[in-house]
Amino acid sequence: GDAAGQALPVESRPFASYGSALHIALPQAPRAGQLLTLLIDYEAGEGPGVCWLSPEQTAGKQKPYMYTQGQAVLNRSFFPCFDTPSAKFTYSATVKVPEGFTAVMSATSWEKQKDNTFVFKMSQPIPSYLIALVVGDIVSADVGPRSRVWAEPCLIEAAKKEYDGVIEEFLVVGEKLFGPYVWGRYDILFMPPSFPFGGMENPCLTFVTPCLLAGDRSLVDVIIHEISHSWFGNLVTNATWGEFWLNEGFTMYAQRRISTEVYGLPYTCLEAATGRALLRQHMDATGEDHPLNKLRVVIEPGFCLFLGINPDDTYNETPYEKGYCFVSYLAHLVGNQSKFDAFLQAYVNRFKFQSITADDTLGFFLEYFPELKEKGVDSIPGFEFDRWLNTPGWPPYLPDLSPGQQLMRPADELAELWAADGLNMEAIEAVDITGWRTYQLVYFLDQVLQKSPLPEGNVKRLSKMYPKISKAQNAELRLRWCQIVLKNNLEAEYSKVKDFLQSQGKQKYTLPLYRAMWGGSEATRALAMEIFSATAPQLHVNVQNYVKKILGLGDAE
């Protein structure tokens, strides 16, 4: 309180390969519920949670930029904290920055004071990984009654155009489905191109990749995913990273519920089919029985932390897409969409501002639907809840995506035509793809990639026929086009792979392309080395290390 307080002995002890433990000796054992005020004087900034960008790593190329990334266990390098999602707290911060820079944080209120000092308060309890800070040459523009976009000045017009009016529509549908939006504002910050993720759902201020500025609103549904975290992940949180599916599986389900309301069922099923294809690719690459392909992954608590299994290294498609299948299976057991929607609202209301385990979730589900508990739905042979959680491999239940068939069928048929030995140009020209939306094109390219390598010359013809695809600015299309170019050794377009990897550093786009290059010919391996040596400095340190691992470079951490 107001007393000067007394100095306490501290020591740093080994904990894991990603951080040490700060031990503080208290003068006497505290009572349960007693409030302590602890003042820790510390310096930070070298660790992996704090990213310092040089001007050339930004969009404007004029001024440096810094941001923090807490998920999963990186905020321990930004400030001393109980860095586990099982603990939640409010916070406040005072941030002084140089003239010409602006600071923003994931906080419910902020004000600018004199001397370029910003004061932030988060009035709702959140886990440590959701505290985030950005300092840069950034400006904002309103895009809705409770939303603005933040970006570097050179991007702000594009950001405003792409998102004006869109966010509020998604928030309103989310509230209708899952209950009140409790965070006040929902702002979006467009990060520099080197940001390694698609989005990071920091409360009140989602960080997103500038790849979402496709110019035609074709990728705004990524924002639906981050908005869905406002209920699943940020409000109801997994207590350990070993049950990350509680954040991501529920968020995928919520995202697709909002998408169904906004864009209709066929389009949502198509998007879900591309998600399923990603899960298939991931499981083929790792082997289905890989221990990471369970929904309950053993990483913590306990001695495993000392083995240095970093929760960040467990990041993959399983918690997202297999998690989505499990939530869909629960909905299937209920058998009535509006009843399951009501359950989700009750679930959020029951566990809001808490951190929970899968046992809490499934226990509440059976308590909410006593007639299902009575029937013993948790132990139906082959679909046991225990099997879902603890057995690796392909999901036992897959939701029906057949409403997407009306969009998938034409894409399947067109891919077949392009994979044929002699191209039937008459049939190909009869298919008009001008009206196809992003995920229909993505689905088409996924099919072409699966059939690759195509007969000699086909990909070259395809490229010429559809500049809408081969010259796309949309990152999802660029990723797949680059994969097709590599799989078919289309050397004339290797420059597109280079351009794409130079334009952004998102992990989801960067790693698959390096894997494809490294698994290909001598020429593509040389290309991988050439691109990496040119772009390494602009990549996030974690992404640099993952690429080094793929390329077999010795000094990967």
Task: Point out the annotated binding site for a peptide.
Answer: 69-71, 196-201, 506-508
Give residue for tokens 């950001």.
159
Please tell me the number of Cα atoms within 13 Å of 203 on its side-chain side: 30
Cβ contact 159:213 at 8 Å: yes
Q: Which strand (E) or helix (H) includes residue 121?
A: strand 117-127
Which of 18, 65, 67, 226 is catalytic? The answer is 226
> How far is residue 248's CA from residue 320's CA, in Å, rounded to a whole number?
5
- 546 labelled catalytic: no
Give residue for tokens 């290909």.
520
Count of CB atoms situated within 10 Å of the CB of 176 = 12
Give residue for tokens 């603005």.
148
Q: Which strand (E) or helix (H) includes residue 228?
A: helix 221-228
Q: Measure the CA dihedral 247/252/254/260, to 10°.
A: 180
> How far is residue 325's CA from residue 320's CA, in Å, rounded to a whole number?
9
Q: Which strand (E) or helix (H) includes residue 114?
A: none
Which of 320, 324, 443, 514 is catalytic? The answer is 320
- 226 labelled catalytic: yes
Q: Give whole-number Cα distances, 30 to 8, 27, 34, 93, 309, in Å.
A: 14, 9, 6, 26, 33
Question: Annotated binding residues, as ranges?
Answer: 69-71, 196-201, 225, 229, 248, 506-508
Question: Annotated binding residues for Zn(2+), as ranges?
Answer: 225, 229, 248
DSSP state of 232: B
Task: Write out the DSSP string of 1-29.
Answer: --S------EEEEEEETTEEEEEE--SSP
State the helix-helix crossing angle for 323-334 and 245-263, rounded to 10 degrees: 60
Q: Give whole-number Cα distances, 459 to 416, 449, 466, 516, in Å.
A: 13, 10, 11, 17
Measuring CA to CA, which residue among 93, 70, 95 is closest to residue 83? 70
Measuring CA to CA, which residue among 233, 221, 99 is closest to residue 178? 233
> How far is residue 77's CA from residue 86's CA, in Å, rounded to a whole number?
18
> How far is residue 240's CA from residue 315's CA, in Å, rounded to a whole number?
13
> How far is residue 58's CA from residue 46's CA, in Å, rounded to a whole number?
20
Cβ contact 391:381 at 8 Å: no
Measured in degrees and rounded to the nearest 5, phi and psi for residue 187 equal -105, 155
Q: Point out the residues that are catalytic.
A: 226, 320
